[in-house]
Amino acid sequence: MDLQGKNIVLIGGAGFIGHNLALELKVRGAQVEIIDSLQINNLGAFAANVDNIPDRTLYLHLIHERLNILHEAGIPLHTVDARDYQSLSPLLGSINPQVVVHLAAISHASKANKSPYSTFDHNLRTLENALDATRDYVEHFIYMSSSMVYGNFQSDQVGEETVCEPVGIYGALKYAGEKLVIGYNQVFDVPYTIVRPSALYGERCVSRRVGQVFIEQAMKGLVLNIHGDGEDRLDFTYVQDFIDGMVRIISNKNSRNEIFNLTYGTSRSISEMVDIIKTEFGDIGIQYLPKDDLMPDRGTLSIEKAKRLLGYEPRFPLELGFVKYIRWYNTLVEQHRHLFDDVKPSLKLVKGC
């Protein structure tokens, strides 16, 4: 999958997915540049601490680590707000990318439901600006959607042809984004790929996804809060598997004008994730809380299409990927214990490396 010299721009690329993708693309020879305002779930938000964020010191450290790694890799970062067409359009024109990967978004369903206007602005306004600015020259526009577009799964498994019935603001706007991307293809012949990930986890994430929250609660010796009965299922996907899939989408022309589920391809229950936490940290208390009515019932996303057209083969089931993630956290504690609020002094470190 040689990408030597390929000119690629990641909009919203300084986040969890984006910085990992940028680093991999750079290793593979691509010319990568990032456009990011650093405001959404990033440096600006954590520096201002407007939401009274727990473990803020830790997250600021991780964000600075991301930025330092990108700098050391020689990946340019343009601090521009993609909502501002007058700033975004000339910048994109000067870079003249062959590939645009659109990652800019508010990535929390709960935050989206609380702030619909802001979510529309960051999810759809940025997308429309990017599409319109590059419609005359981009060779491939990749849009980061979500498994939330499916809404409540009507069976144990959904495929790309499953009818989408999103629940809440977040899923609705992600689905609207898909339709906008397809519309630009119909009107302006912009080649596209729509990507639907699910329950991503991995190193240097600051999004407080369920696995991250569980690890941090366990490190502090706190009770794990489970919303629901623990039997809800998610298609947990380790970030390195996802990045491999994204590289295949960029490098393989079979991806053009297609929608792909890009997950591990097997759902696991929240209780199974908790069992892994218990194995690594010892016995931990559990508290069951009411489930959010706006969080749909989900399960497995079929990845047969990605396997068939792209040769996608994820390698990290939860027992490998999540344990790898825990061990990374443990190393972080050993090296930077001062970053953690009230970390348990007797933290059990996993065996091995």
pLDDT in tens, 290-314: 888 778 889 999 999 999 999 999 9
CB contact at 8 A, 200 and 321: no
Q: 231: left (phi > 0), else alpha (psi -120 to 50), else beta?
A: alpha
Is residue 250 assigned to a domain?
yes
Say which residues have a Cβ less than 8 Å from residue 324's Cβ, sequence separation at least 6: 238, 316
Read off the pTM: 0.93
Is residue 353 assigned to a domain?
no
Is residue 129 assigned to a domain?
yes
DSSP secondary structure string for all residues of 247-290? HHHHH-GGGTTEEEE-S-S--EEHHHHHHHHHHHH----EEEEP
Query: Of 115, 188, 97, 105, whose CA–CA distance to 146 is shortest?
Result: 105
Q: 47: left (phi > 0), else alpha (psi -120 to 50), else beta?
A: alpha
CB burial of residue 159 (10 Å; 0-12, 13-18, 19+): middle
202 pLDDT more than 80? yes
If pLDDT is split at 50, 70 and 90, which confidence band does 343 have? low
CB contact at 8 A, 35 and 80: yes
pLDDT in tens, 119-164: 898 999 999 999 999 999 999 999 999 999 999 999 989 999 999 9
Instruction: Please name every residue paired with 237 in a beta bridge, in sequence order, or none if there are none.
Output: 200
Is residue 254 assigned to a domain?
yes
Q: Summarize the confidence of residues 186-202 as an average pLDDT.
A: 97
Q: Summarize the confidence of residues 178-206 as an average pLDDT.
A: 97
pLDDT in tens, 315-336: 999 999 999 999 999 898 888 7
Maximum Cα–Cα distance for the chain, whole Å? 61
If pLDDT is split at 50, 70 and 90, which confidence band does 118 have? confident
Q: Summarize the confidence of residues 244-257 as an average pLDDT.
A: 97
The enclosing domain of 150 has a CATH number of 3.40.50.720
Helix, strand or coil for residue 25?
Answer: helix
Residue 350: what pLDDT?
46
Q: Which residue has the tokens 């393989």?
A: 252
Single-letter code of the amino acid located at 233: R
Residue 304: what pLDDT?
98
If pLDDT is split at 50, 70 and 90, which confidence band does 241 have? very high
Residue 282: what pLDDT?
86
Pairing relationship of beta strands 233-234 and 268-269 according to DSSP bridges = antiparallel
16 pLDDT more than 90? yes
Cα 299 from Cα 296, distance rounded (Å)? 10
CB contact at 8 A, 34 and 76: yes
Residue 220: what pLDDT?
87
Is residue 135 assigned to a domain?
yes
Is residue 19 assigned to a domain?
yes
347 pLDDT more than 80? no
Residue 13: what pLDDT?
95
CB contact at 8 A, 152 and 190: no
Is residue 340 assigned to a domain?
no
Residue 89: what pLDDT?
97
Q: Summarize the confidence of residues 257-277 as an average pLDDT.
A: 96
Residue 352: what pLDDT?
40
Q: How many CB atoms lie within 10 A of CB 187?
A: 9
Q: Which domain holds residue 29?
A: 7-201+236-265+298-315
Helix, strand or coil for residue 311?
Answer: coil
Q: How many domains does the chain have?
A: 1
If pLDDT is split at 50, 70 and 90, which confidence band does 351 have? very low
53 pLDDT more than 90? no
If pLDDT is split at 50, 70 and 90, which confidence band does 344 have? low
Q: Which residue has the tokens 């490396």?
A: 353
Cα 24 from Cα 21, distance rounded (Å)? 5
If pLDDT is split at 50, 70 and 90, which confidence band does 57 have? confident
34 pLDDT more than 60? yes
178 pLDDT more than 60? yes
Is residue 293 assigned to a domain?
no
CB burial of residue 104 (10 Å; 0-12, 13-18, 19+): buried
Name the average pLDDT for the chain: 91
